A and B are shown apart, each in its own frame.
Chain A
Amino acid sequence: MPAFSIARIGSALPRVRGGARPFETTRARRHRGPRAGEWRWALLFLAPTLIGLAVLSAGPILATLGISLTSWDMLTPPTFVGIDNYTSLFNDARFMTAMRNTFYYTAVSVPLGLVLALGVAMWVNQRIRGISWIRTMYFLPLVTSSTAIAIVWLWMYSPTGLFNNAISIFGISPQRWVNSPALAMPSIIAMSTWQGLPANVIIFLAGLQGIPTEYYDAVSVDGAGRWARFRHVTLPLLTPSIFFTGILALIGAFQVFDQIYVMANPGKPGQSTITLVYFIYETGFRNFHMGLASAASWILFLIVAVFTILYFRTQNRWVHYQ
């Protein structure tokens, strides 16, 4: 997950509302924000990040906008081609396939990942024997490298691997998993959902533990069962966490690359797992079309921006801050 997306979603973090602020002085309360002298210090401390963003992120991002209007192979001088790259992308069958695959991946992996993470978070949020061991097991994928995970999953997907052995118990014939055009994307989604689970579980777990037990006590007195407690206490109070993990998952899904790169290359089942970022990488760094690749990154950026804005617009309707 690139750093800039973290910065962008910062405003979505649940805020602590109301309550006394015991350490605030009266002067600080009158002058909201830093005073003139403090600005200098604030800027000084922010400088490394600001300079980093300006030089390492903003510069290249703007540069790709310029490059996207050229035909450039990185090694010889670019020629200006206007919006040709953008128009040719929409006539490029491979790009459109990458677009379709990316939407497929996002539409399935984001909801699936959130629902599973919520379930696991609720399960490990219990006081049972050995819970810290169980939690550790769930968090392991978080500290394992993507490549190592992909290689183990490739092994499980192999013709005589774990999954084929498991389904043979039910009399299902062996499947080709990542080598089958139809099953390739679901197979990769299954792996990345498992891999992405712990990050979401941690946030949900924190959200769950932040719900005051008084609320549960109160609804229990009113005669609420398990489902009602979940539906009317847990879920509403967890919406800030869901909103936060949702936006991270959404942006991450549109940018999916490493799982695809490791699992589907080599041995790609045709074009069924090419995603937008993979297309950008291949077009720019393998096929010497840096202009086309830059145009594709801008289209991806616009797609992510539109979805992020739409998602934020829905915030007032379903996110409840305490």
Chain B
Amino acid sequence: MSRVSRVKRAISLAAIAVVVAGCGSTATPSPTPAPTPVVTPAGPGPSTIVAASPTANPAAQCGHYTGPAATISYAIWGDTTELANQQKIVDAFEAMNPTIKVNVTVADWDTYWDKLQTSLAGGNAPDVFLMDGPLYPDYQTRDQLLDLTPYIARDGFDTSQLADLGIKDFTAADGHLYGLPRDLSTIALYYNKKMFDAAGIPYPDGTWDWNKLVSVSQQLTKTVNGATQWGFYTETTDMENYWSELVWQAGGDIVGPDKKTLMIDSDQAAQGIQFLQDLIYKYKVMAQPTPGGSGDLFENGQAAMEADGSWLVPSHIAAGIDFGVAPLPAGPAGKATSVNPSGVVVYKGTKSPDAAWEFVKCYTGPTMQQLVAQLKASMPVNKSVLATTYATSFDGGQVFADSLSYAHLKPSFRGYNEFTTALQDELDTNVFNDNNKTAKQALDDVASQLQDLLGQ
């Protein structure tokens, strides 16, 4: 999930509803993700799991905890809806592990990191806490996280049951895992079925490329009943949704595999970002960005398509949009999307490492991942749950699940925030919010500063 979306969700969903109402759109229910109906059979109970997947080492499964009884704290970012969701998952964990009690605490995105840093500095950080993929190296390289590799070996835990990119993102430079991915977010193309039907245009599919996106967006950008309907909507304020995908689709990259080489100053990267600027100012199929001011135009029923994250599924459903999901249109260098895992990590100074590990292990196991899938707010990291429950739980689940095969990990390196702030400031000011510069000019202007930040 992008930072902006998290902040938006955290500020106040009620306020967003006010914005929605103020935009003169058709009345929409509050985008608060309503408790989604369970359309899939409930997850198998613990006993079923053991029977279904027998293994030599029962410790690899959840529910065989033999360590000391403990109370652990688990900190997450989000809002009250997210807290309620996580509480359900924690309840399932406690039912399987009666000797471990888990206290969940929630804070909004910005406050979460403030609290985390001060509590780490003060030596009383939560036992288990949520970690954003891009920020993981900042904490891992500062020796704050417990190395889980010995626990994985001890219990014979099979990490290959989890999404490969998720494991890759949490594998540190020394090859050890200092956390496990909890769930995944990826980006695809949402489309409003009613708007496509009304225009008699076939729904987007895996054959689409940039040209097709432009031509259909142009057809769908028009005045309907006196109100502007936009062909396309996306967010411009974070690379995750959706300019990093465009960079990859054009054959470029943001930083090299060594995390020290700047790649964003290439012609291919510029071509990707230029395409987004063109959607706004050249083809005029997307409203000029007013971050924080307009809300999600797709969710408000004012745009026909939206390139955005899997985390929007519950709120799009709650908003009553009849939507479908298609893969992102391919660029000159083919298909690409982004995947960003959130992970659960254990504080190195925890007093209950065994109980904390048990929680992390169980979180990635089938029972709790089944609950993640039912919430639809993110994609389960467990391969079998992703391929079954999630993929079939709504129209589009299969597209999100399949898109992992051509996904790139959201960049993740020490100093990510400072790097991305400098880059995004330049793009917001001169490329997206206004077209003062071409993408190439803007990237050339900011390249040396970015290179300095990578070299730190």
> Chain A interface (Cβ within 8 Å of chain B)?
73-76, 147, 151-152, 154-155, 157-161, 176-179, 181, 262-263, 265-272, 282, 285-288
Contacts and interface: CB of A to CB of B under 8 A. Distances in A.
B120 A267 contact: no
Most buried by B among A179, A263, A265, A282: A179
A160 B22 contact: yes
Q: Which 9 residue pairs spanning A and B have beta carbons closest together?
A: A267-B291, A270-B429, A267-B292, A75-B142, A158-B293, A151-B15, A287-B418, A266-B4, A74-B121
A286 B418 contact: yes
B8 interface: yes
B293 A154 contact: yes
A158 B294 contact: yes
A93 B428 CA distance: 17
Contact of A159 (B290, B421, B429, B434): B290
B113 interface: yes
A285 B3 contact: no
Contact of A157 (B113, B120, B288, B293): B293
A148 B173 CA distance: 44
Interface residues of B, number: 43
Nearest to B14: A151
Given A158-B293, A178-B292, A74 B8 contact: no
B292 A154 contact: yes
8 contacts: A73-B142, A75-B117, A151-B12, A158-B293, A160-B24, A262-B11, A265-B7, A267-B291
Given A75-B144, A158-B290, A282-B421, A147 B22 contact: no
Contact of B22 (A161, A176, A262, A271): A161
Contact of A286 (B113, B142, B143): B113
A155 B19 contact: yes
Nearest to B5: A266
Contact of A269 (B7, B12, B417, B429): B429
Interface string B428-442: 111001100000000
A287 B23 contact: no
Contacts of B43: none
Given A74-B120, A159-B293, A266-B292, A271 B24 contact: no
Contacts of B42: none
Given A159-B294, A268-B428, A285 B22 contact: no
Given A155-B22, A160-B23, A267 B290 contact: yes
B113 A267 contact: no
Contacts of A265: 7
B121 A75 contact: yes
A282 to B, nearest CB: 7
Contacts of A158: 19, 22-23, 290, 293-294
Interface string B142-153: 111000000000
B192 interface: no
Given A74-B121, A160-B24, A287 B417 contact: yes
A30 to B, nearest CB: 53
A74 B291 contact: no
A155 B22 CA distance: 7
B425 interface: yes
Given A151-B18, A158-B22, A158-B293, A288 B433 contact: no
A166 to B, nearest CB: 14
Contacts of A267: 4, 237, 290-293
A16 B433 CA distance: 56
Given A160-B22, A286-B421, 17 more contacts: A73-B142, A74-B117, A74-B120, A75-B117, A75-B121, A151-B18, A155-B19, A158-B23, A158-B294, A179-B290, A179-B291, A266-B4, A267-B4, A268-B428, A269-B428, A270-B429, A271-B429
A177 B293 CA distance: 10
Contacts of B143: 75-76
A225 B11 CA distance: 52
Contacts of B324: none
A179 B121 contact: no
B292 A269 contact: no
B278 interface: no
A271 B425 contact: yes
B289 interface: yes
A268 B22 CA distance: 21
A102 B225 CA distance: 46
B2 to A, nearest CB: 9
B314 to A, nearest CB: 21
A139 B140 CA distance: 49
B290 A270 contact: no
B138 interface: yes
Nearest to B235: A266
Most buried by B among A75, A151, A267, A285: A267
Contacts of A155: 15, 18-19, 22
A285 B117 CA distance: 7
Most buried by A among B3, B237, B290, B425: B290
A175 to B, nearest CB: 11
B293 A286 contact: no
Contacts of B428: 268-270
A76 B113 CA distance: 17
Contacts of A161: 22, 293
Nearest to A272: B429
B156 interface: no
A155 B433 CA distance: 18
A154 B23 CA distance: 12
B46 interface: no
Nearest to B2: A266
A267 B433 CA distance: 10
A268 to B, nearest CB: 7
Contacts of A160: 22-24
Interface in B414-456: 415, 417-418, 421, 425-426, 428-430, 433-434
A136 to B, nearest CB: 23
A270 B425 contact: yes
Interface string B191-202: 000000000000
Contacts of B158: none
B237 A286 contact: no
Contacts of B139: 75
A268 B427 CA distance: 11
A285 to B, nearest CB: 5
B273 to A, nearest CB: 16
Nearest to A176: B290
A262 B11 CA distance: 9
Contacts of A75: 117, 120-121, 139, 142-144
A181 B142 contact: no
Nearest to B237: A266
Nearest to B21: A155
B174 interface: no
A73 B138 CA distance: 10
